[in-house]
Structures are given as structure tokens and as C-alpha cells.
Amino acid sequence: MATTTKDLNVAVIVKLEPDFSEGNVSYNADGTLNRAETKSILGPHSAIASNAAFYAKVKYGARVAVGTMGPPIAESALQQAQLLCDADELHLYSDRIFAGADTLATAEVLKAGISKVEGGKVDVVFSGHRASDGETGQTGPQTAWKLGYTFLGNVIDYNIDLESRLVRAKRLISLQGFYDIIEEVEAPLPVFISIDPSYNAFFNTVSQRLAFEKYQKEARSRAENYKQFLKVLNTQQLGIDPKLVGLPGSPTIVYKVERIPKAKASRKAEVIDGTNRDQIARVVTNMYEVLEGMVIK
């Protein structure tokens, strides 16, 4: 289906991540993540990206596809995303040879996957800001580049003009050492948007609110039967060159993982018993002295 006239096709890429919330996360004695004991969920930034796609559904009646790369268990991330954005299609890109991929090799798979949606006629792709476990924030922009889509990062708000096929987005740019900037940018479709954590969808008309409720209800029933919407695609079905994915397609390797050595003590702490009122009183006096500029440390 070609996206002439006023159709809008959007895709979201999501990731199944460790659930860092209290009660679900488990740490080893040395403070590192215990992956075996920690549950997995749709990553929080992926959830925000799904909300941004749902906004396109409510406001523009967009068709939504959600994709993820991962082992079969990653389909639970697709289900959770469908509940948020009422996805029309769910795509799991799954193949043993994808394992061990760095961001460049992951982007290769995601590019191939998005090219399969609606015959390659995706107008907007959404991704989260970064994953909570890998935290590189590189996979989104690298996928955008491989697709040949204009990349817009740190997006806090967007609107699309379906007539002119232009997107207008607000981006939050933090210039460390200076100030933050909110930039308004206009770009022709197609675009790839990575959503800032501070994004909040906002529906201001009655018809939008009605559409919101209708699609939310639909999302609940779809997510219950998510397997009906699910397609699992391997290397061959995605038409990928195996040399460009997984370990062969990854320029980088993890060479070693080590505990960060304890830094030399930079201050010599006086240890105070927190239940001793006299000692606390002395600390408070110190604190006031510092704040009033009476003691120069």
C-alpha cells in the first residue's frame, strides 16, 4: 500500500530489558546485576516510544507496527507495546545468528525489519532514548542512517501535516556547560524519531479523546490475542546478508569486564553515630557554619 494522500504508517522499535524496579531486580553481592534472577519487561524508554506511536494512531489514524530483535521470549515486549499503542502488526526478528551483535549489526537487522513493514512505506519510526541495560543510545540513530531516514533525536513533541508530508518536532538539547535549548525543527517524511524521556502525549480535542478511548479498548483486546498479530522473521525472510549481522557484522567486541578499582579516599570522614543527639547537634552546627560562610573548608 503506497502512502500517497493522507495515509500514515508508523513503526516502533522496542527492546525487552531487565526490570530495574524494586522487588523485580536482583543484584549480586558485588553490586552487579543478577540477570538470571531479574525479570524482563518492555524497557521504559521503549514504552515511551510506544506512547508516541499511539499518539499518531489517535491523532492521524496511523497504522502501527512494532518490531524487536531478540530470542522468542522477546515477544512479551511486543505484547506489552501492543497494549500501549494498539499495534496492527508485531514483528519479532529472531535468528540464532543475530546473537552477539553490537549496535551496528543490530541496526542492520532493524533496518531490514522496518523495510518489511507496509512494503517499505513507513513514514515515521519511533525508538526510545536508550535501553536501560546497554545504555548506548546508538542503535536508533544507526538504524535511521541505514534506512536513509532523517534522524531527529531528543524529541519531546511532534505534529505531522498529512497534506504537505512534513513533520514538525520539538527537541530538547542539553548543552553541557551552557544551557538547555528547545529547538523546533521541520523535516519532510520519512523521519526517524527517538523520543526524549520527558515526552508526554497530550490530547486536546473531544474527537481525539474519543479516539483515544476507542483505540485503548481495542489495544486491550488485541494484546490478549497478540499471537494473531505476530510475525516471526529470520535472516532469510528478512533478506539479510548474514555477514552483516551478529558477530560477523559487529566491528566491536567486549574485551574485558572488570570491577572498577576503588578510588583512593579523597576525604577523611569523621564517623558519627546517627542516634547520638550530641554528635548530631555538632554536625548541624558545622553545617550552619558552612552555609553562613563562617568556615572555609
**Hey, which residues between 121 and 160 contact other proteins (CB under 8 A)?**
132-133, 135-142, 144-146, 150-154
Binding of residue 271 to other proteins (CB under 8 A): yes
Judged by CB under 8 A, the stretch of 64-72, 169-177, 204-212, 214-222 that binds other proteins is: 169-177
Site string for other proteins, 96-115 (x = CB under 8 A): ----x-xxx--x--------
- SS3 at position 170: strand
The residue range among 51-59, 66-74, 81-89, 173-181 that interacts with other proteins, by the rule CB under 8 A, is 173-181
Which of these ranges, 56-64, 79-87, 172-180, 225-233, lies near other proteins under the rule CB under 8 A? Answer: 172-180
Site for other proteins in 174-213 (CB under 8 A): 174-188, 194, 197-198
Q: How far is the CB of 42 from other proteins (least distance, A)?
A: 14
Q: Which is nearer to other proteins, 113 or 229 (CB)?
A: 113
Q: How far is the CB of 224 from other proteins (least distance, A)?
A: 25
Site string for other proteins, 221-260 (x = CB under 8 A): ----------------------x---xx-xxxxxxxxxxx
First to last CA, the chain: 70
Residues 6+ apart with CB under 8 A from 100: 246, 247, 250
Whether the CB-CB separation of 153 and 125 falls below 8 Å is answered with: no
Rounded to the nearest 10 degrees, the angle between the axes of helix 206-224 and helix 75-85 is 150
Q: Quick one: residue 13, left, alpha or beta (phi over 0 = left, psi -120 to 50 = alpha)?
A: beta
Q: Does 1 bind other proteins (CB under 8 A)?
A: no
Helix or strand (DSSP H, E) at 92: strand 89-93
- Nearest-10 Cα torsion for 11, 16, 20, 23: 120
Q: What backbone torsions phi and psi does residue 284 show, to the nearest 5 degrees?
A: -60, -40
